[in-house]
Amino acid sequence: MGLLQLKKRRKCYESTRGIPLVWNGDVCRDWPVLTVESYVKWYDLYVVEAGGKVRGLLTDCPEYAETIRNVENQCNGMSINDHIINPAFFRNIAQELHLFTDEAAYDMILGRWVQYHE
């Protein structure tokens, strides 16, 4: 597949606030992806569903509320602290909800977490 064809298949997803997400996935992906905004402060995690719909995990997914609380408890009650996402929460919630995780998003989360806690 040529570069031009690949670019046509890619889509830049945006958060519910209109901010681009870190993951620029293939529109034909059939597995939901957990990612973050490409922004300096984070207020939520985002799920890009198989059909391309974007939802805020903490704000737009009431069906996951109990699972989110359980995973937060496993992470000492911390999912987001001062606009920084707990990397353990990111990995654990993705595993519990069977979501693919974007590695670039995880690298950003981990880097900010380490910098914040130095």
Q: Which residues neighbour 85 within 8 Å (Cβ) at sequence distance 6 or greater?
A: 36, 42, 45, 79, 109, 112, 113
Whether the pLDDT of residue 55 is over 60: the answer is yes
Q: How do beta strands 100-101 and 33-35 pair?
A: parallel
Average pLDDT estimate for 22-33:
71
pTM of the predicted model as reported, rounded to 2 decimal places = 0.84
What is the pLDDT at residue 51?
82
Whether the pLDDT of residue 3 is over 50: the answer is no
Q: What single-letter DSSP state applies at residue 19? A: P
What is the pLDDT at residue 91?
96
